[in-house]
Amino acid sequence: MTGLRRRDMRIGIIGTGNMASALGSRWAAAGHQVLFGGRSAERAGALAGRTGQSAGTVREAAAFGDAVLLALPHDAVAGVLAGLGAADGALRGRLLVDCTNAVGPGFRLTTGTGPGAARAIAEATGARVVKAFNHLPDSVWRRPAPCSPDGPLTVPLCGDDASALETVGTLVRDLGCVPLTVGGLDRAAYLEATTAFLIGLWHSGHDPRTLLPPFDVVTA
């Protein structure tokens, strides 16, 4: 399967909360077809109505189109995947975008020092998993053109499948951002841990940018 570059992708979104709404509405605005799948038909329908897209069940979202965003609390992921028949290979080969954060009390990862959330999802499903969009709050993804102090926002991606990374790269560009593959799924746990670290800083009122000198200073 080759990566998709076209602007009329079909994207299933599992979940109808903040991340589903933020990313789904921006992808819809970019011209993609989105199906919001939730355990509450009312919430899925309301989101679909607001964005001019379609609504369905969690199962319908998992089977919809070219890429599926898992926009669930980390604690719910294993049960939802099991209910979709992951153990029987129902999701094998599907492109799953994992934006989840397994952050518990004290801004600690509930996945501990293990392989991390994205790797666990790949192992449970046989899906082509790409970790993305987890490192910033939904308020950023809702913006028409999220930016860093130096220009368009770079979005780190981790994954093992080149065509899946290419497809998610297109979805990143359609948010007005720049994709950067930072490694395979073996690196996703670092991205997850970095995010837990960043969330802790933001919650305590510290700007993480003050930790970092300009790039040329570091590389001099």
Ligand X SMILES: NC(=O)c1ccc[n+]([C@@H]2O[C@H](COP(=O)([O-])OP(=O)(O)OC[C@H]3O[C@@H](n4cnc5c(N)ncnc54)[C@H](OP(=O)(O)O)[C@@H]3O)[C@@H](O)[C@H]2O)c1
| Residues in touch with ligand X (CB under 6 A) | 15-20, 38-40, 43, 58, 71-74, 76, 79-80, 99-101, 134, 137-138
Shortest Å, Cβ 215 to ligand X: 25
Cβ proximity to ligand X: between 100 and 219 the closer is: 100
Shortest Å, Cβ 71 to ligand X: 5
Nearest to 69 by CA among 122, 23, 9, 102: 23
Cβ proximity to ligand X: between 10 and 43 the closer is: 43
Shortest Å, Cβ 124 to ligand X: 15
Query: How many residues comprise the chain?
Result: 220
| Angle (nearest 5°) at CA 173 between 160 and 136 | 75
Shortest Å, Cβ 87 to ligand X: 17
User: How many C-beta neighbours within 10 Å does residue 53 have?
Assistant: 20
Helix (H) / strand (E) containing 28: helix 18-29
Cβ proximity to ligand X: between 20 and 157 the closer is: 20
Cβ proximity to ligand X: between 144 and 214 the closer is: 144
Q: Cα(first)–Cα(last) distance of the chain, in Å?
A: 42
Cβ proximity to ligand X: between 40 and 148 the closer is: 40
Bridge-based pairing state of the strands 103-104 and 108-109: antiparallel
Nearest to 147 by CA among 173, 172, 176: 176
Cβ proximity to ligand X: between 74 and 94 the closer is: 74
Shortest Å, Cβ 36 to ligand X: 9
The neighbouring-strand residues paired with 217 are none
Query: Residue 219: exposed, middle, or buried by beta-carbon count in 10 A (0-12, 13-18, 19+)?
Result: exposed
Shortest Å, Cβ 69 to ligand X: 9
Nearest to 170 by CA among 130, 139, 140, 136: 130
